[in-house]
Amino acid sequence: MEQQTVSIAKAGISTTLNARVSILAAANPAYGRYNPKKTIDQNIQLPAALLSRFDLIWVIRDRPSRQDDLKLAEHITYVHQHNGPPPTQTTPFSIALLRSFVMRCKGVNPVIPADLKDFIVASYVEMRKESRVETDCTYTSARTLLSILRLSTSLARLRFGKTVHKNDVKEAIRLMDCSKASVGHGDLHSKTSRPHDVIFGVIREMAQSLSSKTIDYEQVRQQCIAKGFKMDQFLKCISDYQDLNVLHVNNSQTHIILV
């Protein structure tokens, strides 16, 4: 993976070929159940050296939730009765359209401008400073910096941009933080999560509970203050996620709208 080559030794042929492709992998936990008290490499029994080669790692756990369990049960029941998925209010993109979009994205090669150098370096140094885990695949190293550069470039490619913007780097770092929080174990999750990411989690949970993308600004603020966050942390979260175009606040600051 790191050398982007694959060695072949079969049927009398022994050679090394280029393999510059993206790798998407999935693994199940040992014994069929994920243990949050263990590290990700202990759960899926893969070496940390291999896992560290992946830019992003996400742990998808089946947590009991009345609302989610109800939706899943209703969906399965509908499919069983009608031999097809239930109707939706939105029309999904066709496979042909997605393939065409991906092919166009691959033809774009964004570059990182010189004026972003200081911001990227400062962000990486800050991540190293905040790193608490030094034993598993979430350890912040120089490979993490390369991952940020790759993700930033990919985000710019998605919008057909010729240069990487500051918001691309911010979004790449946010994805890295969320990935690390996903694989955190034990009480480590709450210690390593950045305040504005946890606050956004509160906003998202409130929106899900209301089944609406528009929620009351004051209720969110009170909920975050009640959880022990400071007002400046709340405002920074709102500002950061507005810059990333993840949410918007109306002009009168009475409602938060998730994009």
Distance CA(84)–CA(248), nearest Å, equals 36
Q: Give CATH 1.10.8 domain extents, the chain.
A: 91-183
How deeply is 88 buried, as exposed, middle or buried, from its count of CB atoms within 10 A (0-12, 13-18, 19+)? exposed
Across the 259 residues of the chain, what is the mean pLDDT of every consecutive 10-residue run? Answer: 77 83 86 82 84 87 85 94 88 92 94 93 84 60 89 94 93 88 57 70 84 89 85 88 86 88
The fold of 91-183 is Helicase, Ruva Protein; domain 3 (1.10.8)
Distance CA(43)–CA(35), nearest Å, equals 7
Cα atoms in the 13 Å half-sphere on the side-chain side of 1: 12
Both tokens assigned to 197: 């990411």
Q: Give CATH 1.10.10 domain extents, the chain.
A: 195-258
For domain 195-258, is the CATH number 1.10.287?
Answer: no
pLDDT of residue 132: 57
Helices (H), 46-133: 48-51, 66-82, 95-106, 117-130
pLDDT of residue 2: 65
